[in-house]
Amino acid sequence: FFVDSRCFLGYRWQTMLFVSLFKTLVGKEVTVELKNDVQIKGILHSVDQFMNIKLSNISVVDEAQAPYLAPVTNCFVRGSVIRYVQVPGSAVKTDLLQEATRREFLKASKDGTGR
């Protein structure tokens, strides 16, 4: 299951929905792909509304690409440099996510508070 960081540039309800999703994944292993093509795998420690992510027990997927990260065990990744976040598919209940998305979209459309 991949989440594109551009999801956080859209509607306010969309941003909050994905932040809620990521908060349920705290303690799970995720892979973060940065805009410079470096992929970092680690345990999700925290995430905020700006998609800033804290990871622990990290490893670089291709160490030759970023050898300077080899000794690092914990890191903070600024949301603006994230391209994708790969989360374990078993950790995401897609039917609940789709239903929540539908509900929030309808609520925002009705209220006129989409952005």
Overall pTM > 0.75 = no
Question: How many helices (DSSP H) and strands (DSSP E) are in the chain?
Answer: 2, 6
Task: Give the separation between CA 101 and CA 39, rounded to whole angstroms.
Answer: 28
pLDDT less than 50: residues of the chain: 8-11, 13
User: What pLDDT sits at residue 37?
Assistant: 94
Q: Provide the β-strand partners of residue 37.
A: none
pLDDT one-digit tens code per residue, 35-65: 999 999 999 999 998 889 999 999 999 999 9
- Alpha-carbon gap, residue 66 to 64, rounded angstroms: 6
pLDDT at 9: 46
pLDDT at 21: 79
- Which regions of 2-113 does DSSP assign to beta strands (E)? 2-4, 29-34, 39-47, 53-60, 74-77, 82-86
